[in-house]
């Protein structure tokens, strides 16, 4: 009879150890779930234009209609294809081929991008479009409205989305004849996307989507 309390004590001790083990496992699971969900909860990206409702102010500037080497015809919000969401910006263009031509669309708005290090967009051309089309972004910056092109163009792949991006951080070499500063990032007044052709002829749509900033 004297040994009975000892057996009971061992049973309680075992139950406590099992409970502690379960709590430890539960805590570990919650910690893992929290880590996995953190990037989505604290995304450093800011989507500027998604074109889900309309063209969101994007247009072909009047000066582009007046120049022979700019050949964009019209823009509209379209559900044909989309990189994110259900819609994108559709630009109708007519490249005659054989010489340089550009299809440009832009939006005028005052932006302060000081917290961000990258601006980007995604561009799609249909599978039956020719190889050889390229694209870049162009910013208009500051009180003197300085036209600032990317220093390189991205080759567009027919039938695929092409990600176009440029570094905004001070000293970046991604902009032609310009090194960004904090003042540069703080006073952006226009964003433009230009698709270019030196040789290929192409008459058809170009789709732009997911224009955003990243840290």
DSSP per-residue string spanning 41-74: HT---EEEE--SSS-TT-B--HHHHT-TTB-EEE
pLDDT value at residue 14: 57
Same domain assignment for residues 36 and 59: no
User: What was the pLDDT predicted at 5?
Assistant: 46
What pLDDT does 19 receive?
58
pLDDT reported for residue 3: 47
* Cα gap 206→75, rounded to integer Å: 9
Q: What is the CATH number of the domain that holds 179?
A: 2.60.120.260
Are 25 and 61 part of one and the same domain? no
**Structural domain of residue 3, as residue ranges?**
1-42
Average pLDDT, the chain: 88
The rounded distance, in Å, linking the Cα atoms of 39 and 2 is 59
Specify whether 67 is located in the same domain as 31.
no
The answer on 90 and 20 residing in a single domain is no
- Asked whether residue 195 carries a pLDDT value surpassing 70, the answer given is yes
Residues 6+ apart with CB under 8 A from 201: 95, 96, 97, 98, 130
- 121-152 pLDDT per residue, tens: 999 999 999 999 999 999 999 999 999 999 99
Q: What's the pLDDT tens digit per position in 69-80?
A: 999 999 999 999
Give pLDDT tens digits for 78-90.
999 999 999 999 9
Question: Considering its fold, how many domains does the chain have in total?
Answer: 2
Report pLDDT digits (tens) over 16-51: 565 556 556 655 555 554 545 444 444 589 999 999
Q: What is the pLDDT of residue 44?
A: 83
């Amino acid at each position: 009879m004297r040994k009975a309390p000892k057996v009971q004590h061992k049973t309680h001790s075992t139950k406590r150890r099992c409970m502690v083990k379960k709590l430890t496992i539960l805590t570990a699971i919650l910690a893992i779930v929290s880590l996995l969900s953190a990037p989505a909860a604290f995304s450093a990206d800011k989507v500027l234009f998604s074109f889900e409702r309309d063209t969101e102010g994007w247009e072909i500037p009047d000066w582009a209609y007046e120049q022979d080497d700019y050949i964009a015809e019209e823009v509209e919000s379209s559900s044909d294809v989309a990189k994110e969401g259900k819609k994108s910006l559709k630009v109708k263009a007519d490249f005659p081929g054989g010489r340089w031509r550009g299809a440009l669309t832009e939006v005028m708005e005052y932006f302060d991008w000081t917290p961000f290090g990258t601006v980007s967009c995604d561009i799609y051309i249909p599978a039956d479009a020719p190889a050889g089309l390229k694209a870049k972004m162009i910013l208009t910056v500051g009180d003197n409205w300085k036209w600032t092109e990317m220093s390189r163009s991205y080759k567009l792949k027919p039938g695929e989305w092409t990600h176009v991006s440029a570094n905004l951080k001070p000293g970046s070499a991604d902009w032609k004849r310009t090194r960004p500063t904090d003042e540069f990032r703080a006073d952006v007044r226009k964003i433009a996307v230009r698709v270019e052709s030196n040789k290929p002829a192409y008459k058809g749509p170009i789709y732009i989507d997911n224009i955003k900033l990243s840290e």
